[in-house]
Structure 1
């Protein structure tokens, strides 16, 4: 486990639909903590029946027959003011959401042993505190020791008010927050992006994190620069989610049930039947990610009639085909809005339970060239973010991270800077979106006998992908298309040398400070000859 000075730290993915707790074990590997039901993920549900309060899976089971007293979706209401639109969306399923002095609150009914009904109102803060207390207790009972701190992941699109509300709820639950990190950054940690970066090789890369959870999907473009992560942009869509894909199966099986019995459970009069079918469809969906065929069975689905059906993966892929389009649009938009092209994305990594669907992954992969690595090999995809938080907690425990600097805004490089090889090609040395200050060094070889090293330093812009017709040209295929072309010449330098031989290398160091001034130093180590140029940056 992540521990320092006998203190124990955990990683926590607090999701809209489910939450996961992870630690770093004695083997220095991420390990997910099982809850009291033996499950790795705990549904983000709270339910009330009589005087009893239920959490997690037990609360989710209550939702089927006691929806009006089941609270869900409370995480995303943190830090928000009441509005009719918010109440309609948040209360569409589960407990009703009402206005209490401008704050949205969930309204449920408890019943005493004497049959006396009491209306209980819980704000998102109240619900979150109760839920986090249960998670906190689960972790301490599993580990057998006190939890001294946690790293929590939050969506990129969370506002400052929402982050403050998360911290306040954790404080009320007696769960010290070491750090709040962005969910895509946690995923990048678990995938070891930039883990082997060094002074000699910064391992600069551009990664796309595709997170498809129960309530929505987030597509984030992450710059990996010298082992540091910068979230360049993110796109959120509620149209593609585990819930929406469950809905595809519900519609299909409801049709099958109607054929068998003549009963239409989607007629608006069978809400409980729909919830029962949705619960079964979720299991079917998970099974299809590993098997080619999966059953769906519901006892007494409607009017005492049982339902038994099956579906194969191919049929599901056909039914869900168009459902993926908003996700694909989000992928295209986040790359274009960041000023990049798909060819510049070196890796696509998946996380979130619904991202395990193979057809979803293959449709995303088709947007990228073969050079882009598609990855999902880190284990259970719905555990990735919690495991990444545990990795971050371990780094904090080791003193490798200054936690006090966690919310500081870091300036980044607006455009790539590198060496101009021709009017149409630039080799980027400092990549766009690199956190500042930053330094990179490249070595340039010279032809034998050469006595002068000419260096042109320029800003660059991405080269648009070739049209399909151009790709068919065999000659074009032989030469790899450059990723960048020069857009602005910044400096020209000439380093006078003795006659170069096969071993001669000119080391060119680029440095950009937080004032955005660029300094270039070119040195030939054997002779010690050197030249320097400075370029003030706007």
Structure 2
């Protein structure tokens, strides 16, 4: 029986990307009919013709009133507005498209998505030369259940079977290999796309990743960066010719399309050109801008993104020093000044990564493709399992005293989770006593200062700080275990396991004799 063909799909509000795992087990982005790796999320109509992707996007200069955009975010959301200057949206949330003459076509967001996804499916099938049997699709972390269902319905009507619907930060974390790290880690996914920026705090442990907190801003986006360039070049054109490009909708759209290429070039070159034939008043425009100048112009644009990072960390209960990695994705995240602004929010020890794919707007699709390949090979759970898990809201560990606790399973550990620790016993002790507790944050600011000054402490003080982490103290006793050893022993091994239903199992074992005792605690994790 032939192996089925599954793809990964990043269905964006501005651009979409399709990927597949090739014979070399590497993610390969599928090029569309124009040879491009990303397909603009646009539809356009002219007479009896229907355009998709890049061809549709080119229509916004001459036929903006017949161009449909922004329909993904309208699915299941009740939103009845789209980008200004494009096809109008009526009171019932349908696009009113005016084609040649007086012909009017009414297209709902669902119908637009079905037509568009159907074309993506056809593109993938033409590329691989066979039918596509299913896809793993990514949606924003802020999508509601209704929006997810609406996207699923559009894909079904387009003939694309969905294997899983995952969140974009989970797919990005998968592509960056966060779940395969040998130790527990906290990461921040910064995804800057065409219409906004999403910041997601993720905890990874034991092959699982879990989304802990999320923040979003629409003030920082690819569109916002384009606007910076549009205003810069419009001012230059006005100084040279006395014509206000921003007062001419068609001229502004032509300039906006041109600066997208300028912005992309600036991510890898010290300067970039911008040229538009017959920009306004029959006059051509040609200029260039240095990356340094672009950085200066964009400086104020990044402030809301910095605030979103702070908000996400605060919601997760972390400080920047607790973050191990920052994972960048989204087309606008390739801007070097933006990357530096994000890196400046974290200490030098935090790894800021942009190495998961050739282009940052391909990361999410590649992560979806990797998950799709696992499903095809039967190595991943079938739907409705996702790439992320539930987490512990509080740490669980050993209570050593009324105010002393050693966390074993950390806060935000993805479930199910398992850890073990070796506990030394007092000399000549023939019984082992183990107290298991749930912890809470210790809000004493002096302890936070001590943690920051750890490098200045001596080895003895550091050892004490590591043995009893000051950030948590016991909040609730969960279990007490007493193991009768019969004879003195040096230590016992204590194993912790929390199942997906939040049932805690603790087992204390003396490794020489094999004697053990177990406690099972069904506890409510708040």
Q: TM-score of the superposition, structure 2-length normalised?
A: 0.89
Structure 1 residue 306 and structure 2 residue 278: aligned?
A: no
Contact 1:438/1:512 (<8 A) preserved? yes
Quote the Cα distance in structure 1 between the aligned partners of 2:508 and 2:174: 34
Summarize deviations over 1:414-466 as a string: whole Å, max 9, x none: 21112356787754322223344432223346688887766553333456788
Give, in whole Å, the separation in 1 of the partners of 2:388 and 2:234.
50
Q: Does 1:512 align with 2:498?
A: yes
Partner of 1:184: 169
| Alignment counterpart, residue 151 of structure 1, candidates 136, 150, 155 | 136
1:6 equivalent in structure 2: 3
Query: Do structure 1's residue 428 and structure 2's residue 411 form an aligned pair?
Result: no
What SS does the aligned partner of 1:145 have? coil
- Give the drift of 1:125: 0.7
Write the deviation string for residues 366-391 of structure 1: whole angstroms up to 9, x where unpaired: 22233322111112110000011101
C-alpha deviation, 1:25, in angstroms = 0.3
Report SS of the residue matched to 1:146.
Answer: coil
Q: 1:246 to 1:53 in 2, by over 3 A?
A: same
After alignment, is 485-494 or 402-411 more displaced? 402-411
Residue equivalent to 2:222: 242
Of residues 12, 15, 18 in structure 2, which corresponds to 1:18? Answer: 15
Q: In the comparison of the two structures, how many residue pairs are matched?
A: 513
Deviation at 1:356, TM superposition (A): 1.1
1:46 match: 43
- Listed one character per residue, the Cα deviations across residues 101-146 of structure 1 (whole Å, up to 9, x for unaligned) are xx311111223xxxx5310010001111111111111111111111
The 1:191–1:515 alpha-carbon spacing in structure 2 relative to 1, beyond 3 Å, is closer
Structure 2: segments with no counterpart, 5+ residues: none
User: 2:456 aligned with 1:459, yes or no?
Assistant: no
Equivalent residue runs for 1:10-409 within 5 Å: 10-81=7-78, 86-87=80-81, 90-99=82-91, 103-111=92-100, 116-195=101-180, 203-266=183-246, 269-379=247-357, 380-406=359-385
1:442 corresponds in structure 2 to: 421
* Cα gap change, 1:473 to 1:172, in 2 (>3 Å): closer
Distance 1:432 1:295, change over 3 A: same
Q: Is the 8 A contact 1:190 1:378 kept in 2?
A: yes
Distance 2:385 2:455 in 1: 50
Kept in 2, the 8 Å contact 1:507–1:524? The answer is yes
Quick one: distance in 1 between partners of 2:452 and 2:501? 42
Q: Secondary structure of the equivalent of 2:355?
A: coil
Taking only aligned residues, the RMSD between alpha carbons, in angstroms, comes to 2.8
**1:63 aligns to what SS in structure 2?**
coil
From 473, 477, 480, the counterpart of 1:486: 473
Distance 1:173 1:167 in 2: 10
Q: What is the alpha-carbon distance in structure 2 between the residues aligned to residue 119 and residue 223 of structure 1?
A: 50
Q: Deviations over 1:137-162 (max 9, x none)?
A: 11111111111111111111112221
Spell out, residue by residue over 1:329-350, the C-alpha distance to the aligned partner (whole angstroms, 9 max, x if none).
Answer: 1111112112233222222101
Q: Is the 8 A contact 2:442 2:473 kept in 1?
A: no
Distance 1:475 1:468 in 2: 12
SS of equivalent to 1:521: strand
**Deviation, structure 1 residue 397:** 0.9
Q: Which moved more, 1:177-186 or 1:453-462?
A: 453-462
Partner Cα distance (1:448, 1:291) in 2: 67
Q: How far off its partner does 1:184 sit?
A: 0.8
- In structure 2, how many angstroms separate the alpha carbons of the residues matched to 1:17 and 1:477? 54
User: Which sections of structure 1, spanning at least 5 residues, go unmatched?
Assistant: 198-202
Inter-CA distance 220–381: structure 2 relative to 1 (3 Å threshold):
same
TM-score, normalisation: structure 1: 0.87
Evaluate the alpha carbon distance shift between residue 347 and residue 58 of structure 1 in structure 2; reply closer, same or farther with a 3 A threshold. same
Judge conservation of contact 1:456–1:489 (CA < 8 Å) in 2: no
| Counterpart Cα distance in 1 of 2:448 and 2:287 | 46
Residue aligning to 1:200: none
**Which deviations, in whole Å up to 9, do the C-alpha atoms of 1:2-55 show, x marking residues without a partner?**
xx8431111110000100000000001100001110110000011122332111
Contact persistence 1:426–1:484 (CA under 8 A): no
Matches of 1:178 and 1:38, distance apart in 2: 27
Q: Does the 8 A contact of 1:437 with 1:512 survive in 2?
A: yes
From the superposition, tell whether residues 410 and 22 of structure 1 become closer, same or farther in structure 2 (CA, over 3 Å). closer
- Find the counterpart in structure 1 of residue 511 from structure 2: 525
SS of 2:392's equivalent in the other structure is: coil
